[in-house]
Amino acid sequence: MEARVKADVRQFIVSSWLSGDERGFDEQTDLQQTGILDSFSTLSLIAFLEDNFKVQLDPADINSETFRTVNAITGLVLAKLARQGTAGAVEKP
Binding mask 21-60 for another protein (x = CB under 8 A): x-xxx---x--xxxxx-xxxx-------------------
- For another protein, the closer of residues 32 and 86 by Cβ is 32
- For another protein, the closer of residues 53 and 67 by Cβ is 67
- For another protein, the closer of residues 24 and 88 by Cβ is 24
Q: What's the 3-state SS for 21-78?
A: CCCCCCCCCCCCCCCCCCHHHHHHHHHHHHHHHCCCCCHHHCCCCCCCCHHHHHHHHH
Backbone angles phi, psi at 29, to 5 degrees: -65, 130
Residues that bind another protein (CB under 8 A): 17-19, 21, 23-25, 29, 32-36, 38-41
